[in-house]
Amino acid sequence: MTDRYSRQELFAPIGKEGQSKISSKHVLLIGAGALGTGIAESLVRAGIGKLTIIDRDYVEWSNLQRQQLYSEDDACNRIPKAIAAKERLEKVNSDVEIKAMVKDASSYELETMIKDEKPDLMMDATDNFDTRMMMNDISQKYRIPWIYGACVGSYGISYVILPGKTPCLNCLLESVPLGGLTCDTAGIISPAVQMVVSYQVVEALKILVEDWDSLSYKLVSFDLWKNQHTAIRVEKMKKDNCPSCGERPTYPYLSYEMQTKTAVLCGRDSVQIRPAISHERDLNQLENLLTQQGLKVEKNPYLLSVEVDNHRLVVFKDGRVLVHGTKDITEAKTLYHRYLG
């Protein structure tokens, strides 16, 4: 198997030296869904030294349309995504060390893992901005590059964040986006997934071979269905007073106060989820979004209730959500991010 990477080594910007660097590096991948499976397979085929995969969910039938590592057997048996991905990837490249973690990517979990074995790069394949903002603060605190990526419908976006050099995600967003479209409310086509994966992985390879000058340093977005593509220079958006990457960072999204709060309700088969940032939810807009997906929605002036996956989600105007039909916080958070953004 001495020629496994021969075609990659023939590519001059990588070469044998670059391939040696790739095989010595460790990547932390958060999420093993559509983006995660594409990123994982590309990095494992490229010969990454070690890949750590963190994901809290299991394989479902609706995943098979775009999540390329999984089989019908995985969906039938509800195999955790991190485990199913590891088993498949080890058959692709047995030389790569793959660590699977079936866990919710909390700030505690991420910081503990990073202190024990600092990765060279973090890859975003998650489905929510709570986790992305935690990744952003950890990136700045421990000086680890990370690559943001997201897609829904035919739209995708990607951006590389280098601590101390580029604006961070907090510079660009200033606060966590509240609500928004998800794959379960707006759908998704696989070409959008593959396009984001391509942007993320090519930038990852540049970082892994330490070709810093070739990085794009632009926020890239596209809509394949509408034939639109943009690449925006964002270096001037870096803020000296940013609490995540500024001159006096406090890393706010690693604090308890800035994290989504969950609680199992006593005596009830329900979990309450409360956003870190209090806001008034537009129930009319949410009703329109959910009913367009054929979901059964009931609403009064104070709250909205929707039936999903044998559970009932009750959304209050202050942003709180009750997930009825489970006491499992991880399951409740999965439903929350899946349908409410």
> Which residues are catalytic, by number?
183
121 in helix, strand or coil?
strand
At a CB cut-off of 8 Å and minimum separation 6, what does 309 contact?
Answer: 335
- Given a contact cutoff of 8 angstroms between Cβ atoms, the answer to whether 204 and 210 are in contact is no
- Given a contact cutoff of 8 angstroms between Cβ atoms, the answer to whether 79 and 32 are in contact is no
Burial class for 310, CB neighbours closer than 10 Å (0-12, 13-18, 19+): exposed
306 in helix, strand or coil?
strand
Instruction: Give DSSP secondary structure letters for 238-297.
Output: --TT-TTTSSS---GGGSGGGS-EEEEPTTSSEEEEE-SS-----HHHHHHHHHTTT--E
Q: How many angstroms separate the Cα of 227 from the Cα of each of 35, 191, 223? A: 21, 13, 6
- DSSP letter assigned to residue 320: -
